[in-house]
Amino acid sequence: MAMGIIKASKLVFDYIRQDEDDHIEEVNRAIDGVDVDIREGDFVAILGHNGSGKSTFAKQINGILLPTEGVVWVSGMKTSDDSHIWDIRKTAGMVFQNPDNQIIGNVVEEDVGFGPENLGVPTDEIWRRVDESLAAVGMTAYRLKSPNKLSGGQKQRVAIAGVMAMKPKCIILDEPTAMLDPNGRKEVIRTIHELNKKEGITILLITHYMEEVIDADRVIVMDDGHLVMDGTPREIFSQVRRLKEYRLDVPQVTELAYELKQEGVEIPEGILSIEELVEALISLLGDDAGGQKENVD
């Protein structure tokens, strides 16, 4: 059977705290037996409360952390195999929460070129990649600007361009919108959807904002180091009570639809958008509204 771009098998990871004499003081199991296979080209969202293990999982994918037990493969390469580590990091790029911690260049284009330059890519090729990456995230107009003059959303797009310039097959974003305002959040989410559709880049998006998840191909929920739910957004969000048990939430319209269903209103499960809810309610109430109007006439 063909393996996906990212595959974890019986993955376990312990954070180990040692005292000054290297004696183990505390072992904290952050990932506890995760099996997952991610198909190339998918847009996958990972949900889970703070401390559920999702960021630790993300760091396993590009070898920032290595498994305590089990195996992680990226494009068929084992992350525990030292000789592949640079190929793995080129294949799977990471974007973190705080844009200010990720930008190092004084000029946008310089920042984007930093990655490929570090990889020893020839100069012409670096510039070509910088051009392409900035275009892909819609930041070409800012290439000569200083990054510290940009908004949070723009900075994150520059950080994404910096990863794109390494020509990854997959980008892992660990709460890239947590520090942004609603417009910045939309900018970043729109950008990564475009990279996914146009460039075929596999996206792993870790987020606490449920609204950012509804257009994903697949949603994975983690709790206490385990993978506890795995399905389409509709399948996941139809289980409102279970999500709340995992300290998560659902979009407001999903919650309203769920509450109405609990009261006996026959609404389809897993409503995800305003449009869907309005449509469902009109089909339940609409005929009758028409009927009433006739009566009034």
In the complex, which residues of this chain contact other proteins (CB under 8 A)? Answer: 48-51, 97, 151-152, 175, 178-179, 181-184, 208, 210, 244, 247-249, 251-253, 255-256, 259-260, 263-266, 274-275, 277-278, 281-282, 284-286, 288-289, 292-293
CB of 250 to other proteins, least distance (A): 9
CB of 175 to other proteins, least distance (A): 7
Q: Cα–Cα distance between 89 and 61 in angstroms, integer? A: 9
At residue 11, what are phi and psi to the nearest 5 degrees? -75, 130
Between 125 and 275, CB nearer to other proteins: 275
Taking phi over 0 as left and psi of -120 to 50 as alpha, with beta for the rest, 76 belongs to left
At residue 103, what are phi and psi to the nearest 5 degrees? -105, 130
Between 13 and 209, CB nearer to other proteins: 209
CB of 195 to other proteins, least distance (A): 24
Q: Where are the beta strands (DSSP E) in 177-285?
A: 202-206, 218-223, 226-231
Between 210 and 227, CB nearer to other proteins: 210
Between 62 and 177, CB nearer to other proteins: 177
Q: Cα–Cα distance between 3 and 1 in angstroms, integer? A: 6
CB of 23 to other proteins, least distance (A): 18
Between 233 and 251, CB nearer to other proteins: 251
Q: Cα–Cα distance between 282 and 151 in angstroms, integer? A: 40
CB of 86 to other proteins, least distance (A): 31
Structure tokens at 178: 């947590």
Q: Cα–Cα distance between 38 and 101 in angstroms, integer? A: 28
Contact 5, 39 (CB under 8 A): yes
Between 69 and 245, CB nearer to other proteins: 245
Greatest CA separation found in the chain?
A: 89
Q: Which residue from 284, 235, 228, 231 is spatially nearest to 261, judged by alpha carbons?
A: 284
CB of 143 to other proteins, least distance (A): 22
Between 27 and 135, CB nearer to other proteins: 27
Edge to edge, the sheet with strand 69-74 lists 24-38, 6-18, 69-74, 77-78
Q: What b/e readout covers 111-120, taking b as 16+ CB neighbours within 10 angstroms? A: bbbbbbbeee
CB of 201 to other proteins, least distance (A): 26
